Amino acid sequence: MCCLSVLLLNSGRIINVSSVKGLFVVPFCAAYTMTKYAVEAFSDALRLEMKRFGVTVTVVEPGNFGGATESINVCNVHYLHYNKVVT
């Protein structure tokens, strides 16, 4: 609670880290996409609620770094495979 009072008194900033994959759906990565979309929705609601206190809410949405994490690689492999099968 002490952090909240300091945040409100000083018109601070909240920074949430999401992913660009929270903005669109990627086949075979439903769980990852859902959690990132939830961060986006939470941040939007929090931004509206904290505006009257002068607190800004920022969302950082890093893109695909092509190997930074295994989950991104697995999603891309499934996505490419899916597109080959469909087209």
Q: What is the pLDDT of residue 28?
A: 79
Q: What is the pLDDT of residue 23?
A: 79
Total count of domains within the chain: 1
Pick from 14, 16, 58, 56: which is nearest to 35 by CA?
Answer: 16
Written as tens digits, the pLDDT of the chain (87 aa) is 456 666 666 678 888 988 887 777 777 788 888 888 899 999 999 999 989 888 899 998 887 665 555 555 555 555 555 555 444
Instruction: Count Cβ atoms within 10 A of the Cβ of residue 78 and give its class: 0-12 exposed, 13-18 middle, 19 or more buried.
Output: middle
pTM exceeding 0.95: no
Annotated catalytic residue, options 32, 37, 79, 82: 32
Q: Which two tokens stand for residue 3?
A: 């952090």
32 noted as active-site residue: yes
Q: What is the pLDDT of residue 85?
A: 47
* DSSP-based helix, strand, coil % in the chain, nearest 5: 60, 10, 30
CATH classification at residue 30: 3.40.50.720
Host domain of residue 22:
2-86
